[in-house]
């Protein structure tokens, strides 16, 4: 078990000293003795509690509000569970949680002694494992200590560090995380994990076996690489590279060969995501002055703009059947979840909350969308039907605070 935090050690010592003084004074009386015994027993319980229990004590003592982290909620491939990140704010650690798709059975899989944060949980294709990024720093800004890629069972068992990643930037709001190296991504067959690392200076992309062996560098450039994602057939990897001050979407073979720029042009192209059939990629671009959604064929042809609005659109996510794309728009002006047909028609707004809604993710059967919202005063995990109906809070973090 990890060593006790300094605060807990001081707390224990003060209790022991108090008990010693009382005993030295030979205080008598059944009531006083009963209080001392109770106090000593309470101290012993605190000393031997597990890391998970200490998290609860910490929250009670310091008042950290538990909030969901935007962009962290993802469905398990079997559709039965949702992984997400919960953080204590201000100044708390961040942990990977899992709950059933109906919001029941919430479990903290990575709670420690309040040392740093665990972010970016990603399910393995067989839903039996979760990869994530762990960083020991909690302060805002850039953490000087390196983050690592870990893999664990979907129940939190078998935790294992598998690769060195990069530093992580934590926004001052406590909500945003910008990995200086991209988050891990499982290959469709679950045998490999692609990830980003600063081990060779600048951020480059690597691939390894799921157990951490056979690590191999895929990119060799002076640019910053990010946002990697495997094609559905596992033969290619899309990613974003900063070239000459602009971000472009690239595709390469899974072995690092055959790199090609799909979106070369003015502006920044980000958030690439493959269509379920692997023939196209959707992405966000500000090439026309503000952020809008575009699609492009996997060979770089057929570039097409899907949304046209003076406010920013982004975070595209294909529906499992490839007919619809969910996205986030700031046109109201708070962010809301929208959907649009893959050909650009049928655009419609799904959420209408007074505060931010975002980070949509489709259920594997395409019937529901999970998202993160601040509509009730703090960020929580919500779910709704694909048509926007039946919106409800799954995480209930505000009630638990």
DSSP 149-211: EEEEETTS-S-EEEEE---EEE-TTSS-EEESSPPPEE-TTSSEEEEEE-TTSS-EEEEEETT
**Spatial contact of 44 and 150, defined as CB atoms under 8 Å apart:** no
With respect to residue 101, please indicate whether it lies within any of the assigned structural domains: no
Query: Does 233 lie in the same domain as 364?
Result: yes
Residue matched to tokens 């945003």: 176
Read off the pLDDT band of 53 (50, 70, 90): very low
With respect to residue 89, please indicate whether it lies within any of the assigned structural domains: no
Tokens found for residue 338: 């929208």
pTM, entire model: 0.80
Read off the pLDDT band of 144 (50, 70, 90): low
Query: Does 370 lie in the same domain as 273?
Result: yes
Question: Could you read off the pLDDT of 266-303 as tens digits, one per residue?
Answer: 789 999 999 999 999 999 999 888 899 999 999 999 99
Give the H or E element holding residue 225: strand 225-230
The pLDDT value given to residue 285? 94
As a whole number of angstroms, the distance between CA 183 and CA 266 comes to 26
The pLDDT value given to residue 216? 96
With respect to residue 79, please indicate whether it lies within any of the assigned structural domains: no
* Vertex 195: Cα angle to 80 and 137 (nearest 5): 85
CA-based max dimension of the chain: 88
With respect to residue 105, please indicate whether it lies within any of the assigned structural domains: no
Give the H or E element holding residue 112: none
With respect to residue 254, please indicate whether it lies within any of the assigned structural domains: yes
- % of the chain surpassing 70 pLDDT: 74
Measured in degrees and rounded to the nearest 5, phi and psi for residue 21 equal -65, -40
Query: Does 35 lie in the same domain as 184?
Result: no
With respect to residue 172, please indicate whether it lies within any of the assigned structural domains: yes
With respect to residue 83, please indicate whether it lies within any of the assigned structural domains: no
CB burial string 109-141: b at 16+ within 10 A, e below = bbbbbbebbbbbbbbbeebebbbbbbbebbeee
Question: Could you read off the pLDDT of 199-242 as tens digits, one per residue?
Answer: 877 788 999 999 999 999 999 887 778 889 999 999 999 999 98
Lowest mean pLDDT among 180-189, 202-211, 299-308: 180-189
Read off the pLDDT band of 333 (50, 70, 90): confident
CA distances from 76 to 82, 187, 192 (A): 6, 15, 18
Read off the pLDDT band of 13 (50, 70, 90): very low
Tokens found for residue 16: 């022991």
Tokens found for residue 375: 């509509």
Query: Does 148 lie in the same domain as 284?
Result: yes
Query: Does 140 lie in the same domain as 44?
Result: no
Query: Does 320 lie in the same domain as 191?
Result: yes
The pLDDT value given to residue 18? 36
As a whole number of angstroms, the distance between CA 359 and CA 369 comes to 10
Measured in degrees and rounded to the nearest 5, phi and psi for residue 302 equal 65, 30
In the chain, how many domains are there?
A: 2
The pLDDT value given to residue 370? 97
With respect to residue 360, please indicate whether it lies within any of the assigned structural domains: yes
What are the beta bridge partners of residue 216? 207
Read off the pLDDT band of 101 (50, 70, 90): very high
CATH code of the domain in which 301 resides: 2.120.10.30
Domain interval for residue 376:
136-400
The pLDDT value given to residue 224? 79
Write the DSSP symbol of residue 289: S
**Spatial contact of 238 and 272, defined as CB atoms under 8 Å apart:** yes
Give mean pLDDT, residues 310-326: 94
């Amino acid at each position: 078990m990890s060593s006790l935090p300094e605060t807990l050690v001081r707390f224990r010592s003060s209790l022991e000293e108090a008990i010693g003084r009382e005993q030295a004074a030979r205080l008598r009386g059944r009531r006083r003795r009963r209080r001392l015994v109770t106090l000593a027993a309470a101290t012993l319980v605190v000393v031997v509690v597990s890391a998970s229990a200490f998290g609860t004590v910490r929250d009670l003592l310091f008042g950290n509000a538990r909030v969901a982290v935007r962009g962290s909620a993802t469905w398990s491939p079997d559709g039965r569970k949702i992984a997400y990140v919960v953080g204590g704010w201000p100044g708390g650690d961040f942990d990977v949680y899992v709950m059933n798709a109906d919001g029941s059975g919430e479990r903290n899989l990575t709670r420690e002694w309040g040392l740093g944060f665990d972010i970016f949980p990603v399910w393995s294709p067989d839903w039996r494992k979760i990869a994530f990024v762990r960083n020991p720093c909690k302060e805002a800004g850039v953490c000087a200590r390196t983050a690592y890629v870990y893999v664990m069972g979907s129940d939190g068992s078998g935790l294992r560090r598998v690769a060195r990643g990069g530093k992580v930037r934590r926004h001052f709001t406590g909500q945003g995380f910008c990995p200086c190296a991209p988050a891990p991504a499982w290959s469709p067959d679950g045998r490999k994990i692609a990830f980003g690392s600063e081990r060779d200076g600048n951020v480059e992309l690597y691939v390894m076996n799921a157990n951490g062996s056979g690590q191999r560098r895929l990119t060799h450039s002076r640019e910053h690489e990010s946002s990697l994602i495997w094609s559905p057939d596992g033969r290619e990897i899309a990613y974003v590279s900063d070239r000459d001050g602009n971000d472009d979407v690239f595709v390469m073979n899974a072995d690092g060969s055959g790199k090609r720029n799909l979106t070369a042009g003015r502006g920044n192209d980000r958030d690439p995501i493959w269509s379920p059939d692997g023939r196209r990629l959707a992405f966000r671009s500000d090439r026309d002055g503000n952020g809008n959604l575009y699609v492009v064929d996997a060979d770089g042809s057929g570039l097409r703009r899907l949304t046209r609005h003076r406010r920013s659109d982004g975070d595209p996510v294909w529906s499992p059947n490839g007919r619809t794309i969910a996205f986030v728009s700031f046109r109201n002006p708070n962010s809301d979840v929208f959907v649009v047909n893959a050909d650009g028609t049928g655009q419609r707004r799904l959420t209408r909350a007074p505060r931010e809604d975002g980070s949509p993710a489709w259920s594997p059967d395409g019937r529901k969308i999970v998202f993160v919202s601040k509509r009730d005063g703090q960020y929580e995990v919500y779910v709704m039907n694909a048509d926007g109906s039946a919106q409800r809070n799954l995480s209930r973090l505000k009630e638990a605070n």
